[in-house]
Chain A
Amino acid sequence: MNTLVKNIRNYLDETGKISLFAFRFFQQVFRRPFEFKELFRQCYLLGYKSLFLVVTTGFIMGLVLTLQIRPTMIEFGATYYIPQMVGIAIVREIGPVITALICAGKIGSSIGAELGSMKVTEQIDAMEVSGTNPFKYLVVTRILASTLMLPLLVIAADAIGLFGSFLVEATKGDISATLYFNIVFDSLVFGDLIPATLKSFFFGFAIGLVGCYKGYYSDKGTEGVGRAANMAVVLASLLLFVIDFLAVLIADIFFEI
């Protein structure tokens, strides 16, 4: 019983601390000085450097999804609906969630480990005593970069995923690129695109926030750095599913999906 109470208390304590950390982010993000150079550097590191991994995953996701659903669709004589089905599945759900999970692993852990090691080697303290606001320089830039880059990575993953799906259809079936993509785009409406794009921003924010929080408050030396990186991935992945559920719920109300 005591363990249960302790766990609940720890959970609430951690939730409160992360909320305060997020509040501090919103307090600082619009205040001068703006660290544009570091923001662009982080956009490059978190966005461009993750592109290859994300498009490779997206491509395989498109191939596998089409290969898996094709036999069933043939059985029902509904091969015409494959582009439609794959398009909606990738754009609405699979593209954003898979990309966010990949980024939680890559970006979340790298932010957690980087800030964690900066913390234990007193680099963050060194920044502070040199009269620089380390929260603004390190945390605000990383959360912003992650929030801005994730939707772009999702768009890239969606596009390459649909291309992968088309390759399977073109190889195994008999469909032209024009027809395939016409069917895909005809089946997609704003109700598919807007919530998917919006939730990608929230996914990016959650990954950046958790990675920075775990790294910024890591302790206990090198062991703490490893734990910060690990916890950043675990917690961010969990948060992604919670955000996804809420996003689908809200989209269902406003867009009647």
Chain B
Amino acid sequence: MIQNDSTTKSGNEGGRPEIQPLVRIRNLKKAFGKNLVLKGFNLELYPNENVVILGKSGSGKSVLIKCLVRLIDIDEGEIFVLDRSIPDLEQEELDHIRTEVGFLFQGSALYDSMTVRENLQFPLRRHTDRLQGQDEEVLIIKALESVGLEDAIDLMPAELSGGMKRRVALARTLILRPKIILYDEPTTGLDPITSNEIVQLILKIQKDFNTASLIITHDMDCARVISNRMIILQDGINYAEGTYEELSQSNDPKVKAFFKEVKNR
């Protein structure tokens, strides 16, 4: 098991410059009333890295990634995304940073009253700088092609299956070309075959778009395939951290119990 207590990744012996993390969380605390959900969570996410955060239901995983984009205000601690302190940003700056951070919601969160095309147009029309002289329609089709759903462009969300909705939501996330993508339970509610398709898609996207990903899940198969690094969020802190192999062979009783519980599900 590795304890993550450094602020940057060291360069190799060849003297390359240190790699700065895209996301840095220090001593994050968040409570809802008397319920202290996060009690000092720490995290660093580096470019092209897939970090999976595992935890039981109610452990504060979703709260954590919502704090990252300030959908929820934190009580204490530091959150830096692309070297900007998220809690201290003015609304305009925050909106700009948010365009660099894609967010795939658990239920896809497609806009019901809009077609797939309009769902993808929505963020583009509000951030026309991201068009970079390219045609809006071309970008939409490219985004849909990257998730294999170019034929669904004129369908309404209600006409899509759960897996298709997740793919369209991913295309909508990708359309602004974010540097970081946050996945909130990307495979929850999907059958095993569709789950596997989504997992492969996440890997493909990371490869094609060079994104760093923070994935919240309690799907161990998904975590095993996707992760470069895993963090177990327990009792409000990053209780254990390491690769899948390291954590699955850990002798720590709580980590062992966690793996056993997840496998028995």
Contact = CB atoms under 8 A, between A and B. Distances in A.
12 contacts: A118-B112, A121-B109, A121-B112, A122-B109, A123-B110, A123-B112, A126-B110, A128-B98, A129-B98, A130-B122, A130-B176, A131-B123
Contacts of B107: 121-122
B112 A130 contact: no
B126 A131 contact: yes
A125 B126 CA distance: 16
A117 B122 CA distance: 19
A114 B111 CA distance: 11
Interface residues of A, number: 15
Contacts of B101: 129
Interface residues of B, number: 24
Interface of B: 66, 69, 71, 91, 95-96, 98-99, 101, 103, 105-107, 109-113, 122-123, 126-127, 172, 176
Interface in A82-126: 114, 117-118, 121-123, 125-126
A36 to B, nearest CB: 13
B123 A132 contact: yes
A133 B101 CA distance: 16
Contacts, number: 54
B71 A128 contact: yes
A129 B127 CA distance: 12
A127 B111 CA distance: 9
Interface of A is mostly: helix
B109 A131 contact: no
Nearest to A126: B109
A123 B109 contact: yes
Given A123-B109, A125-B109, A126-B109, 16 more contacts: A121-B107, A122-B105, A122-B107, A123-B110, A125-B66, A125-B71, A126-B105, A126-B111, A127-B122, A129-B71, A129-B101, A129-B103, A130-B172, A130-B176, A131-B126, A132-B126
Contact of A132 (B66, B96, B122): B122
A130 B99 contact: yes
3 closest A-B pairs (Cβ-Cβ)?
A126-B109, A131-B95, A130-B123
